[in-house]
């Protein structure tokens, strides 16, 4: 409808089904409407640019975080879904782990069913896999959705398998809270605000007839839990107040040091001036 109406100067879209998206994108291009993709790409289409994460790199960073922070070898499973950007993340995970002492178990990757009436949650499928593959050392999630059900199912799963290493893509606020409470080992997050901002900038450049890069990259943020010995830590609401008090103490200490230095400098100056006055007095008497 947007294409046929002629009411838009540009379109930015995130791809779920690459074949369908390619058809839509090529229709927009035929209608002389600049169109770009963000977050998930359709590289075989006629889109002008892709703005977002290097999806394969994101998967590789999940693998690197697992190897450098937690374990150098073992058995792993991938938790994912049917989407072109997630397929690339899966590939990135395998790029790192399969070449460095890790093996992917049978039954991986976990994908939820495409038909709603057949679907089970990712967490339910994770339980199933742990039954058939009880010696899994790590699970790597290419999407943050399984963590964010909000019904306690994620926390119950992690508590049932406390030795299982779990790392996830994305770093939404609720995921960071889960990380702080010890219910995930690490996160590799995207920058959605940066994605949106660069999408608008790219469309604006195209509308002015300017050339743009084929791939406009956004950065990643990598977070790993440091309290490995205490896996379930409840972050109290007072922690922010404690942190503020800590900052205040540091500032007070710095001010005291500066005040002491100022007093010392003043004392030295007065001593020097008194010495000069004594010399001048002796010369006058002479």
- Torsion angle (degrees, nearest 10) of CA 233, 234, 235, 236: -140
- Of all helices (H) and strands (E), which one includes residue 230? none
Q: Is the pLDDT of residue 116 over 70?
A: no
Q: Average of pLDDT values for 217-246?
A: 57
Q: Average of pLDDT values for 66-73?
A: 94
Q: How confident is the model at residue 84 (pLDDT cuts 50, 70, 90)?
A: confident
SS (H, E, C) 94-126: HHHHCCCCEEECCCCCEECCCCHHHCCCHHHHH
Residues 6+ apart with CB under 8 A from 60: 92, 93, 95, 96
Q: How confident is the model at residue 122 (pLDDT cuts 50, 70, 90)?
A: very high
Q: CB of 3 within 8 A of CB of 28?
A: yes
Q: Average of pLDDT values for 213-220?
A: 94
Which residues are paired to 75 by β-bridges? 103
Question: Across the chain, what does the average pLDDT equal?
Answer: 83
Most confident of 105-119, 156-170, 244-258: 156-170
Q: Average of pLDDT values for 149-177?
A: 95
């Amino acid at each position: 409808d947007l294409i046929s109406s002629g009411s838009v100067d540009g379109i930015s879209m995130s791809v779920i089904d690459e074949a369908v998206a390619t058809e839509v994108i090529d229709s927009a291009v035929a209608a002389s409407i600049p169109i770009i993709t963000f977050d998930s790409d359709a590289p075989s289409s006629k889109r002008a640019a892709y703005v977002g994460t290097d999806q394969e790199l994101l998967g590789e960073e999940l693998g690197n975080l697992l190897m450098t922070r937690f374990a150098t070898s073992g058995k792993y499973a991938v938790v994912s879904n049917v989407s072109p950007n997630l397929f690339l993340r899966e590939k990135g995970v395998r790029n790192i782990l399969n070449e460095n002492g890790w093996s992917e178990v049978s039954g991986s990757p976990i994908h939820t069913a495409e038909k709603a009436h057949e679907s089970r949650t990712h967490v339910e499928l994770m339980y199933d896999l742990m039954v058939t593959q009880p010696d899994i050392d790590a699970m790597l999630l290419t999407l943050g959705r399984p963590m964010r059900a909000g019904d306690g199912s994620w926390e119950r799963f992690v508590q049932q398998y406390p030795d299982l290493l779990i790392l996830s893509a994305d770093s939404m606020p609720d995921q960071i809270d889960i990380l702080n409470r010890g219910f995930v080992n690490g996160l590799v997050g995207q920058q959605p605000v940066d994605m949106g901002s660069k999408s608008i900038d790219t469309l604006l450049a195209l509308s002015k007839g300017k050339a743009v890069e084929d791939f406009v990259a956004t950065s990643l943020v990598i977070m790993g839990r440091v309290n490995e010995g205490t896996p379930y830590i409840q972050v109290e609401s007072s922690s922010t107040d404690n942190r503020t008090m800590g900052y205040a103490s540091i500032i007070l200490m710095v001010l005291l040091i500066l005040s002491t230095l100022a007093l010392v400098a003043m004392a030295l100056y007065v001593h020097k001036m008194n010495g000069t006055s004594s010399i001048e007095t002796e010369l006058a008497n002479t």
